[in-house]
């Protein structure tokens, strides 16, 4: 894995190995917050930002603190603590220095702590043995991929309002079927680039 | 849209003791099929029946453990920091289960990959701790944990069974094999990502039909 360039990983994480459509991460907020394109865009941006930075921080903590001390099994609890603390910190900084951005992103930040895609990206980066630069590429790409998926979904959901959905399928089931079709479409990218 | 509930504020349907709690977790408010919580792991690990069952067992263990301890400590956890306390308790049990898998079932642990760790962010566990264990005594909380674990496991097993059956043409489970026979050409798509979304969507729709009209208002 060490010779794949970060750029390739980034593109793969957006298209061929989309964290939502092929790894199923971040489904909860994907289903709950995909009714408006603007909301989806805001949440997606916040996720991309947090994911890139927490993947970097967790990489550093794992390779420079946990691994040398043989404490690898503590990675789950440490990672989730880092993510929670980081989200809190970002919230405070954004609130202090950019109230405008805070109102745009603010409500999404607490939601991000429970978004499994963030923790998943950190864990994947460790499991796949990425170098630091690759981790940055992967974190950013995975976030971007999630953003693309949720914005597409929100656009489709807005159109869906005028559709005549059978009653048992209304709501989540039809969202799942749409996601199924999207996942199939994204499978068309397979072969463009490959990562593990 | 009837599904605007965010992950942490799920459930809310607590109350009821013993059997009622059990029935609620397994059937009337099945975490997966009715409340649509914790679907990330449900979709990711269900490409095989055996994986689904191990994941169900993992969730059962974590849910019971965290419910019990959150409930025991419910009068001692300051309200402001209850989230992080819950996460710490949940993470402890997840680490225990992960270490157990790594020690005794290495192959399974490799197949499940990061998804065992992701139980920490699984909305079901967090939701039950927040909505049920914080307000109820330990014994009922254990029942609630068992009920939700079973409800989740059963739904997972159904998805896993269908995906393996139609994706591979046969289900191999503890030496038993259920074979569709040579007339069926296995559809690889069922094992891949789209199959998961498809089967899950159909499953919720079927649950909706079975439950009747109150399913939509219940969410």
Contact A168 B208 (CB under 8 A): yes
The confidence score (pLDDT) of residue B12 equals 39
The confidence score (pLDDT) of residue A61 equals 93
The confidence score (pLDDT) of residue B136 equals 84
The confidence score (pLDDT) of residue A59 equals 93
The model's confidence at residue B214, banded by pLDDT at 50, 70 and 90, is: low
As a whole number, mean pLDDT of residues A157-173 equals: 83
Instruction: Look up the pTM and report it.
Output: 0.81
Contact A116 B206 (CB under 8 A): no
Interface of B with A in 129-188 (CB under 8 A): none
Could you tell me the end-to-end alpha-carbon distance of chain A, in angstroms, rounded to an integer?
Answer: 8
Only one residue has tokens 């956890």, namely B77
Among B38, B51, B37, B40, smallest CA distance to B161 is for B51
Model confidence over B9-46: pLDDT tens digits? 334 334 445 566 677 767 777 777 676 777 777 788 88
Contact A183 B40 (CB under 8 A): no
Only one residue has tokens 């693309």, namely A148
Could you tell me the CA-to-CA distances from A52 to A10, A29, A46, A48, B88 in Å, in that order?
11, 18, 10, 6, 24
Structure-model confidence comparison of residues B52 and A1, the more confident one: B52
Model confidence over A91-112: pLDDT tens digits? 888 788 878 777 766 667 777 7
Q: What percent of chain B has pLDDT over 90?
A: 9
Q: Which chain B residues have a beta carbon less than 8 Å from that of A185?
A: none
Min CA distance, B26 vs chain A (Å)?
19
Closest Cβ opposite residue A21 in set B3, B36, B193 = B193
Q: Distance between CA atoms of B151 and B33, rounded to whole angstroms?
A: 9
Interface contact A84, partner B, CB < 8 A: yes
The confidence score (pLDDT) of residue A143 equals 93
The confidence score (pLDDT) of residue B8 equals 35
Interface of A with B in 52-71 (CB under 8 A): none
Q: Distance between CA atoms of A80 and A175, rounded to whole angstroms?
A: 29
Interface contact B219, partner A, CB < 8 A: yes
Given a cut of 90, whether residue A55 has pLDDT beyond it is yes
Q: Distance between CA atoms of A64 and A60, rounded to whole angstroms?
A: 6
Interface of A with B in 86-145 (CB under 8 A): 111, 114-116, 119-120, 123-124, 127
Whether the CB-CB separation of B160 and B48 falls below 8 Å is answered with yes
């Amino acid at each position: 894995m060490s010779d794949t360039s970060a750029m390739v990983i980034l593109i793969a994480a957006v298209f061929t190995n989309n964290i939502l459509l092929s790894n199923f991460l971040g489904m909860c907020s994907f289903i709950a917050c995909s009714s408006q394109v603007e909301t989806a865009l805001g949440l997606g941006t916040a996720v991309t930002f947090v994911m890139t930075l927490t993947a970097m921080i967790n990489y550093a903590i794992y390779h420079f603190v946990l691994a040398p001390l043989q404490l690898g099994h503590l990675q789950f609890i440490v990672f989730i603590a880092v993510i929670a603390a980081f989200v809190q910190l970002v919230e405070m900084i954004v609130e202090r220095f950019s109230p405008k951005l805070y109102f745009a992103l603010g409500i999404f930040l607490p939601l991000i702590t429970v978004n499994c895609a963030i923790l998943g990206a950190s864990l994947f980066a460790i499991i796949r043995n990425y170098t630091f630069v690759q981790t940055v590429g992967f974190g950013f790409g995975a976030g971007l991929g999630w953003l693309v998926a949720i914005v597409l979904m929100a656009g489709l959901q807005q159109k869906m309002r005028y559709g005549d959905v059978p009653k048992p399928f209304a709501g989540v089931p039809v969202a799942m079927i749409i996601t199924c079709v999207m996942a199939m479409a994204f499978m068309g990218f397979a072969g463009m680039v490959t990562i593990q | 849209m009837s599904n605007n509930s965010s992950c942490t504020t799920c459930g809310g349907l607590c109350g009821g003791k013993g059997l009622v709690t059990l029935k609620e977790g397994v059937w009337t408010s099945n975490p997966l099929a009715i409340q649509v919580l914790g679907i990330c792991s449900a979709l990711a690990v269900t490409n095989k029946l055996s994986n689904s069952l191990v994941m169900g067992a993992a969730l059962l263990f974590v849910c019971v453990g965290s419910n019990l301890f959150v409930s025991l400590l419910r009068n001692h956890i300051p309200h402001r920091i209850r989230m992080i306390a819950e996460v710490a308790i949940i993470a402890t049990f997840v680490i225990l289960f992960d270490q157990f898998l790594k020690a005794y079932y290495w192959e399974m642990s490799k197949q499940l990959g990061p998804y065992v760790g992701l139980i920490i962010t699984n909305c079901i566990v967090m939701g039950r701790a927040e909505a049920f264990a914080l307000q109820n005594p330990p014994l009922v909380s254990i029942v609630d944990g068992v009920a939700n674990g079973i409800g989740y496991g059963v739904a997972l097993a159904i998805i896993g069974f269908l995906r393996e059956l139609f994706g591979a043409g046969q289900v191999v489970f503890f030496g038993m094999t259920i074979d569709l026979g040579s007339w069926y050409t296995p559809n690889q798509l069922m094992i891949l990502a789209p199959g998961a979304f498809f089967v899950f969507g159909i499953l919720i729709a079927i649950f909706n039909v079975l439950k009747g009209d109150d399913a939509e208002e219940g969410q």
